[in-house]
Amino acid sequence: MFENKYIQQRIEKADKLRELGYNPYSNDSKRDTTIGKFFNVNSDVETLENQRAEHRHYTVAGRIKFYRNMGKASFLKIEDESGLLQIYVARDNLEDGFYNEIKKLIEVGDIIEVKGYPFVTQKGELSLHVNHLTILTKAISPLPEKYHGLADKELRYRQRYLDLIMNSEVRKTFHIRSKVISLTRRFFEDKGFLEVETPMMHPIAGGANAKPFTTRHNALGVDRYLRIAPELYLKRLIVGGFEAVFEINRNFRNEGMDATHNPEFTSIEFYWAYKTYRDLIEITKEYFEYLFEHLDLPTTLPYGNIEINFANFTEIGLVESLTTIGGVPSDSCNDINSIYAYLKEHNVQVKPNLNLGQLQGELFDEYVEGKLIDPTFITDYPVEISPLARRSDDNHQVTERFELFMAGKEIANAFSELNDPLDQLSRFEGQMDAKDAGDDEAHEMDADFVNALSYGMAPTAGQGIGIDRLVMMLTNQHSIRDVLLFPAMKPIAQEIDLHADIEK
């Protein structure tokens, strides 16, 4: 594994350190200041008469990102999570013989700890004048070459640790992701919602139309399905008497991978008794206002060659959007044969035998979705593509549902929940017919959920928000893999060989 000659040279240096009595993997750090704090508390040094503060002493630690040895002295730059600091190390400032022993044994990539005082160089850079240096970790693998960095995206995703070492902007993205999740939790808690946990392995694949991952429960001797969505369990809790619940967790869908889809993804789902989807539209606007206020971001952000105004929310019905936004003639939107003819005329391939609602969904995907840049609530979804949503009292062909889109991508899905057990049973039966007809994403029958509804569920509204896609918008990232620390990847040869060995 470590046959590379450069790695061997570094291993030899680690061994030499041991011979000299220095542990290349010590565990006695005395760090008392982060680099970011060092800059904050010493901002006044530049105004001091000799531009140094020898009475102040700090112990900082970090990875060496730059090293220039000039004989009797060296300039290095070390980095921790909070920033990059230049340090000055001179032979005469360290204990006798230490500098000459150590200067050829440390290099870029090593993690060191230094103690000293702040000063400003002739070039005006606030730095640390070192009077004590300790090696904390000897890196035996060299970092990528400085000026080209880690350009191979596949390698960046597979070796995220290396990506994080080399790219501070990547770390910034994941700091924002962490803040989004934390703020999301705080927002809903402040609104009176209770955070709950539901099973990750389900006896029935349900909660959304998608292909599940199958796993084996050895103790029970049965197959289980990784969670597609927590919806049906969360609504069971509403039946049980909770009135506002949410869960932030992973969902798993055994489907294709592309710029906006990963087999496992993070979302928040929340359910609110005695509310409708209209209330969810309002709380969603409040949620975005809250995020931008606490993330300290402008409400208009770049996303590639477009800009998203996160304060400009609009709303339109799905069928209406086909004409007003998608440019589809109105007489080609409300009849199965007309839609098939229109799609064929425009060389759009779809499955045969789709119903009206499914075909309207196909028109929306093809002609509308990509044009929705600022946040847009698409409402009034057809019943046929909304098996868990409540029918509209005004039009039984559509449901009280919306999806929120921005930058041409779906961010959230919400609806007034179906709480009529007989209607729900009928919807499940329709899904089972679709599955028998070859739709492998159709919803399974969940008899226990129907039974739960039979005991009475209060009028309820529920919503799911995709955290990954939201972070993509906030950080101007165009692949979901750039906002996942460890995205799903095609196996490489070594992984395939290892799997084969395990199976043997």
User: Is 161 within the bounds of a domain?
Assistant: no
Q: Do 108 and 228 belong together in one domain? A: no
Q: Do 112 and 252 belong together in one domain? A: no
Residue range 97-145, pLDDT digits in tens = 899 999 999 999 999 999 999 999 999 999 999 999 999 999 999 998 7
CA distance to 80, 164, 385, per residue, from 34 (Å): 7, 18, 53
User: Is 352 within the bounds of a domain?
Assistant: no
Q: What average pLDDT does the segment 380-395 reach?
A: 90
Q: Do 123 and 74 belong together in one domain? A: yes
Residue 11: pLDDT band with limits 50, 70, 90: very high
Which position has the token pair 């070192």? Answer: 130
Measured between alpha carbons, how far is 403 from 160 in angstroms, rounded to an integer? Answer: 33
Measured between alpha carbons, how far is 109 from 143 in angstroms, rounded to an integer? Answer: 6
Going by their DSSP bridges, the two strands 314-317 and 376-379 should be labelled as parallel
- Looking up residue 49, the CATH number of its domain turns out to be 2.40.50.140
Residue 329's pLDDT is 97
497 pLDDT higher than 70: no
Q: Do 404 and 443 belong together in one domain? A: yes
Phi/psi at 101 (5° precision): -70, -35
Q: What average pLDDT does the segment 241-269 reach?
A: 95
- Looking up residue 268, the CATH number of its domain turns out to be 3.30.930.10
Report the DSSP beta bridge partners of residue 135: 112
Looking at the structure of the chain, the number of domains it has is 2
Measured between alpha carbons, how far is 495 from 487 in angstroms, rounded to an integer? Answer: 16
Q: What average pLDDT does the segment 1-19 reach?
A: 92
User: Is 358 within the bounds of a domain?
Assistant: no
Residue 211's pLDDT is 87
Q: What average pLDDT does the segment 230-252 reach?
A: 97
Q: What is the number of H-type helices and E-type strands within the chain?
A: 15, 18
For residues 353 and 362, the answer to whether their CB atoms sit within 8 Å is: no
Structure tokens belonging to residue 78 = 């070390």
Residue 493's pLDDT is 66
Residue 494's pLDDT is 58
More confident residue, 376 or 499: 376
User: Is 157 within the bounds of a domain?
Assistant: no
Helix axes of 356-367 and 336-345: crossing angle, nearest 10 degrees: 30
CA 95-101-105 angle, to 5 degrees, is 125
Q: Do 125 and 171 belong together in one domain? A: no
Residue 146: pLDDT band with limits 50, 70, 90: low
User: Is 361 within the bounds of a domain?
Assistant: no
Among 143, 178, 195, identify where a domain stops. 143
Q: Among the listed ranges 10-19, 311-320, 339-348, 440-449, which one has the minimum average pLDDT value?
A: 440-449
390, burial (CB in 10 Å: exposed 0-12, middle 13-18, buried 19+):
buried
For residues 117 and 54, the answer to whether their CB atoms sit within 8 Å is: yes
Determine the structural domain holding residue 32 and report its residue range: 5-143
Q: Do 320 and 246 belong together in one domain? A: yes
Structure tokens belonging to residue 279 = 């209330």
Among 96, 112, 143, identify where a domain stops. 143
SS3 readout for 180-235: HHHHHHHHHHHCCCEECCCCCEECCCCCCCCCCCEEEECCCCEEEEECCCCHHHHH
Q: What average pLDDT does the segment 319-328 reach?
A: 98
Residue 501's pLDDT is 53
Among 83, 112, 143, identify where a domain stops. 143
User: Is 414 within the bounds of a domain?
Assistant: yes
Amino acid at 491: P
Q: Do 129 and 192 belong together in one domain? A: no
Q: Do 106 and 252 belong together in one domain? A: no
148 pLDDT higher than 90: no
Q: Do 96 and 226 belong together in one domain? A: no
DSSP strands (E only) in 34-93:
58-69, 73-80, 83-90
Q: Do 264 and 123 belong together in one domain? A: no
Q: What average pLDDT does the segment 291-303 reach?
A: 97
DSSP-derived 3-state class of residue 275: coil
Amino acid at 290: Y
How does the average pLDDT of the chain come out, rounded?
Answer: 93
Q: Do 440 and 473 belong together in one domain? A: yes
User: Is 332 within the bounds of a domain?
Assistant: no
User: Is 66 within the bounds of a domain?
Assistant: yes
Q: Do 432 and 493 belong together in one domain? A: yes
